[in-house]
Structure 1
Amino acid sequence: MPKHQDFVSLVRENIGAHGDDRSFTFISEERLGKYKENVLGFAELDRKARALASRLQARGLQDRAVLLLYPEGLEFLAAFLGCLYARVIAVPAPLPDLDAGRFGRTRRIIEDADITLILTDTAHRTTIDFWLEAAGLQRRVQALDTQTAGATDPVAWTPPEFGPDTLAFLQYTSGSTSDPKGVMVTHGNLLCNGEEIERRIEGTADTVGVGWVPHYHDMGLVGQVLQPLYLGCRYVFTSPITFIKRPVLWLELITRYRGTVTVAPNFGYELALRRVTDRQLDGLDLSSLRVVKNGAEPVRAATLERMTERFAPVGFRPGMWMPCYGMAETTLLVTAAPLGTGPVVRDFDADALSLDKAVPAPDGDGGARRRLVSCGRPVTLDVAIVDPGTRARLPEEQVGEIWVRGGSVARGYWENPAASRATFGAHTSDGEGPYLRTGDLGFLAADGELFVTGRIKDLIIVNGRNIHAHDIEEAAGEAHPAALTGAAFTLDISVEGEVGEHVVIVQEISTRAAGGTPLDELASLIKAEVARAFELPALSVVLAGRGAVRRTTSGKTQRRQTRDAFLRGEITALAGDLAAGLPGDLELLSGPEKSP
C-alpha cells in the first residue's frame, strides 16, 4: 500500500521535515532591468495555507469549486494550497484580459464550474469586481482578496478527510482545438504523476527547479509548482511576461541558483535563441543542469540542436535534454526520455508517413524525409496506438491515435458526462479499456520510443495524403529568417465549379528581419518552398504582423480560430496572394466556424 493516500499528507510531511529550509523564490521586476527576490519558506507557506483553509471551511465550501485569479507569484501558492487543505476544488485560470478577449473564457469557466467565489490578490480585487458587475455576475459571484481578508489563526484549521479519489483541482484545457473543459484531477492522480516525474528525473530534496511557465497551465502547475512540494525541494521562478521581456533572465536564474531542472515549451527555447546576445553569454554557467524538458507539440530537432550548439560554451550538454509528452488529462507526464540519454532524433520517409507508416528514410538525399524527435518512453502508463476509425490496436511503426490508461489519467471532465465518456471511456475493438483518447497521432518504434506526429483535428488531407499542419508551418518558418509563427488551415473553395481544399498559411513576419526583401517576393518565396516540400497544388500564403496567429494562454497555435479571424477580416494582411481577398475565379464555400 502506498505510504500516502492524499497529496496534502505528503506535502505536510515534507514541510515538517524541511520547514523554511526549503522555499519558493519568485523574481519580480520592480522597474526596468531591476529585479527583486521574494522568498516564501515551506513552513510559512503552510501557515498561510492553513489560515486560508479555515476561512474557506467557515464558508462551507468543501467540495465546491473556487476560481483562482492571480498574477504569477507567491500569493497564488498559498491560495492553491489553502484550497487543497480545505478540500475545496481549486480552479486556476489566467487573469482576464478584456483587450485579449480572455474574459469570455473566464466567464465560461465561471458558468461551467458553478463558481460562487473568486480568490485574488489586493492589486486585482477592484478590477475583478468591475468585471463581475459588467458581466451581471456580481450577485452570484464574490471576489475575496486573500492578502487583506482578515487574519485567521492557522490553528483553527481542521483537516478534512482525504483519499486518493478526492478531487484536488480542475485543470481547464487550453482550448487549442475547442472550448476549454475542466479536467478533474484527484489526489491519487497527483501522487501517481508526482512519482512518475520523480522517477524519471531522479528528483530529491536537493533538486533545484527554475522556470517561468504560468501556474494556470498543466506544465507550470504540476511540473513546476507542485513537484517541489512533492519532492520537498526548492523552486525559483519568474513570470512569463518578465521572461518574454528579457529571456536571458531564465538562464541567469539557473546560473545564480545552480538550477538542476527546468522545463519549457519549444517556443521558450526559440525565444532564448533569438534574443540572448553574445555579450549576455558572459557570466552564464548552465553546467548545474541535469534535466532540460521540452514538452512542446511537437518537439523540434532543429531547436534542440541549435540550443545545444549556442549554449555549449556556457555548459549546456546534449545529455541534459529530456523531450517529453503529456497533457492535462493525464495530470501531466505520459512519456519522457531517460535521464542523461539526450534526445532520440530519426529521419523517416515523408511519403510513407503520409500513408501512416513509419519507414526510415533511405540513406543519401533521395526522397522526401521528415525528422522526428522521440518524446521518450512511457513511464508506468499503458500507451497504445489505435486506429481512430476501427479502434483496432496497431502494431509498431504504424501511425494512429495515442491512447493512455493508468493512475495518472484524470477522472474526466467536470459536469460533462458525454465528453468524459467519449474521451476517457474508450475501448479497443477487442474490448481493452477504458483508455483516454488523446486526440494526438503518433507511433511506437520497435524500441519503445514514442513519436508524436500531430493532432487528428489538424490533419490536412491532400490527394489522399495526410499532412500535418505543424509540418507545413515549420517549412514556412524555415523558408526565410523573417518568418515567425504561422498557422496552416484549409478552406473549401470552388474553382470553376470544381470543389477542393485550398491550403492557406497565415504567416507572422518580422519586417525588420525581412531587410530589403519586398513582402510580395517574401510571400512567393515561402509559398514556393512549402509547395515544393509537400507538393501542394492549391496553396496561398498571407503575410501578417505579430499577433495575427491566434494562440491559447499557453502559447499553442489555434488554427481554427486563426482561420475564422481571417475569414471575418480581422487579420490585416501585409502581402500575399489572398491579401486583397479571394481572386475572382475562387468561391469560398464555408465561412467562419462558431464556437460550440
Structure 2
Amino acid sequence: MTDFVTGFRAGSRPDRTVTYLPEGRPAVGLTHRDLDRRARAVASWLAASGMAGEPVLLLYPAGLDFLVAFLGCLYARAVAVPAPLPLSGSSRVDRVDRLLRDSGARMVLTDEAHVAVLGDLSARTFGEGASPDPWEPPDAGAVAYLQYTSGSTSRPRGVEVTHGGLTHNLEVFRRVSGDVPVRRIGGWLPHHHDMGLVGLQLQALHAGADLVLLSPEAVVARPIRWLRAISDHRVDWTVAPDFGYAWATRRVSDEERAGLDLSCLTMAVSGAEPIRIATLDAFTERFAPVGFRRTALNPGYGLAESTLVVTCTSRGRGPTVRRFTPASLAAGEVVLAPDDDGVPLVGCGEPGDLDVRIVDPATGAGVADGTIGEIRVAGPSLAAGYHGDPAATRAAFVTGPDGRWLRTGDLGFLLDGQLYVTGRLKELIIIRGRNLYPQDVEFAAREAHPDAGRGAAFGVRDADAGEHVVLVQEIRRSSPDTPAGFADVVQDAVTRRFGVPVSLVVVRSNTIRHTTSGKVRRGHMRDLFLGGGITALHSALSPAVATIVATAEADRA
C-alpha cells in the first residue's frame, strides 16, 4: 500500500479543493495541487532548519494554514504536534505548556496573525519561496505525529501515530463508503482532535475529495452554519460527535431549517463519545423534511491509539439498534428485551481490517459473544505507543503469542457481528455487584427535567459499604424551578430508574468539565467534588456520601 504522504504528493489534483468558510468573510481555498506545493515549501524550510525527526508544535486557528504546516512536517519527516491555540483561559495555556514539556518540541509554528501573541513561545511562521524539498519516502514505522489524548480520564498523553498506521487507518475509513467514492467531505471538528484531523481533513486528501472546513467555535455558536455548508456545497460525508447532532437538533430553528437541502448527505459519521439512539432519532426526525435520510447515519467506534477508527457502520446501512434488559447489562451477560422495552444500544459497525476481541478485564481471556468485557484491538493501525512513557505503553499495548493488542479501557460486547460499546472500564460504578454506567445515569437525569443540562456521574468509595453514586447536575440558568425543586424531580427519577440511592449536587451551567471533543471528565469532576472545588446551588447527599465528603474535608484541614 502506498503511504499517505507519497500518495498525496503524487496524486494531488488541480480540480480538487480545500475550502475554509470563515464567519463574516469570503471563503478561502486551495486546490490539492496548490496545497501540495505550499507543503513542499514548508518541508524544504523545515529540512534546512534541521527538523527531520524532531517534534514541531503546531498552534493554528481553524483554517488552511494548519493543514499546510502539518503536511509540511510529514513531508520533511518532522514529528507534527497539533495543539489548540492558548488564547482563552488559563487551562488552555497550561495545557500547551504541558505539551511543550512532554513532546520536547524544539519549534513552534503558527500563522502570521498569532506570531506576536505567542511571542513567549518563540513561535514563528515558516519561510516561503523555499526550493523544492529533497524527497525520501517516510519509513512506515517512523512517527508521523503526536496525537495528544483529550484527558477525559487521565492527564493528556502523546500517542505516537506512525506513517504506516496513518495510511492503514485512512484506508480502513475510506472503505466505509463502499464502491461509491466520496466527492466532498465537510465539517467543523478541531484539527487537534483525532476525528477532526484524520476523519475529516486527512481523509478528504486520502480519498481525493473536496474538503469544506468551518470554525468549531462558529458552529457551536450557531450550528446552522454546519448544515448550511453541507447544503450549499453538496457535502456527502460529514463527521461529528453525538453532541454535535444533538446540538444542531436543538438549536436550528424552523426558519433556518427551511432553507436547507440535506439530500446530498449520504454519510454522517457519529463517534468520539457514547452514541445515543435518542440523538440519532431526533436528528433524523428534525431534518427528514429537508432531505436527510436515516440510512445516512454511520455510528462508529475508535480512539487515538488506533489512529482513529476501529469499526464504523458502512454507507447506506443506517444504525443497528438492539434493546437489552437492564438486569442483563448490569450482570454483564446481555439478554435481548422486547422491542419497546429495555435499554437501547447502537451498534458501531463490524470489525473488518482491524481485529477486535472482547476479554475478561481481570484475566485477559476471551469471552463469548453477548458477554460484556474489555475491548481489545490489533492491526496495522495501532500507534507505536505513548511518547516518553514506556510504562504506560507497556500497560496499554500488550504483546503475546497472537500478536500485539491494544487494551482500550473501553467496555463492550460483540453480537451478530456488531460491536456495542457500553462504557469506560475505569468509570464503571459497581453497586452491590451491579454494573452502572455513568452515561446512563447522566442520560436519565437529562430526561427527567426539561432544564437539565450536562451531568457528571461517578462513584465514591468508603471502607465499609463500597461504592456510592454521585451525580453533579447542571440546571439551566433560565429554569423557573428552584434548585431544590429541580433536585427533587431529578433525584427521584434517577433513583427509581436504577434502584439505588443517588446523591445529587445541583450546579450552574458550564460547571461540568469536558474535553475538547465533548467527553465528560468524570474523574476530574470526582476530584473536584471530594476536594471542595464545586460550588453547589443545592446538595442532596446520602448519609454515607456526606460522611465521605466530611472525611475528605478533615483530611485537607
TM range (shorter): over 0.9
- In structure 2, what is the equivalent of residue 137 of structure 1? none
- In structure 2, what is the equivalent of residue 492 of structure 1? 461
1:491 Cα deviation from its structure 2 partner: 2.4
1:325 and 2:301 aligned: yes
- In structure 2, what is the equivalent of residue 481 of structure 1? 450
Asked if the contact 2:45/2:130 (under 8 Å) is kept, the reply is no
1:363 Cα deviation from its structure 2 partner: 5.9
Q: Secondary structure at the match of 1:434?
A: strand
Q: Which structure 1 residue ranges, 5 or more long, are not aligned?
A: 133-141
Structure 1 residues 592 and 343, CA, compared in 2 at 3 Å: closer, same or farther? farther
Q: How does 1:135-154 map onto structure 2 within 5 Å? A: 142-146=122-126, 150-154=127-131
Q: How does 1:365-384 map onto structure 2 within 5 Å? A: 369-384=342-357
- 2:514 is aligned, of 551, 556, 565, to 551
Rounded to whole Å, the distance in 2 between the matches of 1:111 and 1:102 is: 14
Q: Secondary structure at the match of 2:26?
A: strand
1:419 and 2:392 aligned: yes
Asked if the contact 2:512/2:525 (under 8 Å) is kept, the reply is yes
- 2:486 is aligned, of 522, 525, 545, to 522
- In structure 1, what is the equivalent of residue 268 of structure 2? 292
Asked if the contact 2:376/2:405 (under 8 Å) is kept, the reply is yes
- In structure 1, what is the equivalent of residue 530 of structure 2? 567
- In structure 1, what is the equivalent of residue 188 of structure 2? 212
Q: Secondary structure at the match of 1:101?
A: helix
1:95 and 2:85 aligned: yes
1:265 Cα deviation from its structure 2 partner: 0.1
CA deviation map 1:345-377 (0-9, x unaligned) = 111011111111111114666xxx211011111
Asked if the contact 2:334/2:371 (under 8 Å) is kept, the reply is yes
- In structure 1, what is the equivalent of residue 408 of structure 2? 438
Structure 1 residues 167 and 344, CA, compared in 2 at 3 Å: closer, same or farther? same
Rounded to whole Å, the distance in 2 between the matches of 1:555 and 1:324 is: 16
Partner amino acid, structure 2, of 1:96: P
Q: Secondary structure at the match of 1:524?
A: helix
1:122 and 2:88 aligned: no
- In structure 1, what is the equivalent of residue 471 of structure 2? 505
Rounded to whole Å, the distance in 2 between the matches of 1:52 and 1:414 is: 25
- 1:12 is aligned, of 4, 9, 12, to 9
Asked if the contact 1:66/1:116 (under 8 Å) is kept, the reply is yes
Rounded to whole Å, the distance in 2 between the matches of 1:398 and 1:298 is: 19
TM-score, scaled to structure 1: 0.89
Structure 1 stretch displaced more, 162-171 or 527-536? 162-171
Q: How does 1:143-182 map onto structure 2 within 5 Å? A: 143-146=123-126, 150-155=127-132, 157-182=133-158
1:69 and 2:59 aligned: yes
Rounded to whole Å, the distance in 1 between the matches of 2:141 and 2:545 is: 58
Q: How does 1:398-417 map onto structure 2 within 5 Å? A: 398-417=371-390
1:390 Cα deviation from its structure 2 partner: 1.0
- In structure 2, what is the equivalent of residue 260 of structure 1? 236
Asked if the contact 2:326/2:343 (under 8 Å) is kept, the reply is yes
Q: Secondary structure at the match of 2:364?
A: coil
Structure 1 residues 46 and 361, CA, compared in 2 at 3 Å: closer, same or farther? same
1:54 Cα deviation from its structure 2 partner: 1.1
Structure 1 residues 71 and 203, CA, compared in 2 at 3 Å: closer, same or farther? farther
- 2:291 is aligned, of 297, 309, 315, to 315
Structure 1 residues 451 and 590, CA, compared in 2 at 3 Å: closer, same or farther? farther
Work out the percentage of aligned pairs sharing the same amino acid. Answer: 47
Structure 1 residues 258 and 69, CA, compared in 2 at 3 Å: closer, same or farther? same
- In structure 2, what is the equivalent of residue 183 of structure 1? 159
Rounded to whole Å, the distance in 2 between the matches of 1:161 and 1:14 is: 15
Rounded to whole Å, the distance in 1 between the matches of 2:144 and 2:279 is: 35
Q: Secondary structure at the match of 1:466?
A: strand
Rounded to whole Å, the distance in 1 between the matches of 2:83 and 2:405 is: 27
Partner amino acid, structure 1, of 2:112: T
Q: Secondary structure at the match of 1:407?
A: coil
Structure 1 residues 414 and 309, CA, compared in 2 at 3 Å: closer, same or farther? same
- In structure 1, what is the equivalent of residue 213 of structure 2? 237
Structure 1 stretch displaced more, 203-212 or 259-268? 203-212
- In structure 1, what is the equivalent of residue 176 of structure 2? 200
Partner amino acid, structure 2, of 1:152: G
Partner amino acid, structure 1, of 2:536: A
Structure 1 residues 224 and 583, CA, compared in 2 at 3 Å: closer, same or farther? closer
CA deviation map 1:454-473 (0-9, x unaligned) = 00011001111111111111
Rounded to whole Å, the distance in 2 between the matches of 1:524 and 1:35 is: 48
Aligned length: 556
Q: Secondary structure at the match of 1:458?
A: coil
Rounded to whole Å, the distance in 2 between the matches of 1:206 and 1:364 is: 36
Q: Secondary structure at the match of 1:68?
A: strand
Rounded to whole Å, the distance in 2 between the matches of 1:160 and 1:383 is: 34
1:396 Cα deviation from its structure 2 partner: 0.4
Q: Secondary structure at the match of 2:386?
A: coil
Q: Secondary structure at the match of 1:220?
A: helix
Q: Secondary structure at the match of 2:409?
A: strand
Structure 1 residues 592 and 434, CA, compared in 2 at 3 Å: closer, same or farther? farther
Give the CA RMSD over aligned residues: 2.2
1:484 Cα deviation from its structure 2 partner: 1.4
- In structure 2, what is the equivalent of residue 139 of structure 1? none
Q: Secondary structure at the match of 1:118?
A: strand
- 1:270 is aligned, of 246, 253, 263, to 246
1:359 and 2:339 aligned: no
1:185 Cα deviation from its structure 2 partner: 1.1
Q: Which structure 2 residue ranges, 5 or more long, are not aligned?
A: none
CA deviation map 1:502-532 (0-9, x unaligned) = 32111122132x3x32221111111111111
Rounded to whole Å, the distance in 2 between the matches of 1:280 and 1:179 is: 40
Partner amino acid, structure 2, of 1:507: Q
Asked if the contact 1:175/1:552 (under 8 Å) is kept, the reply is yes
Asked if the contact 2:21/2:212 (under 8 Å) is kept, the reply is yes
Structure 1 stretch displaced more, 584-593 or 381-390? 584-593
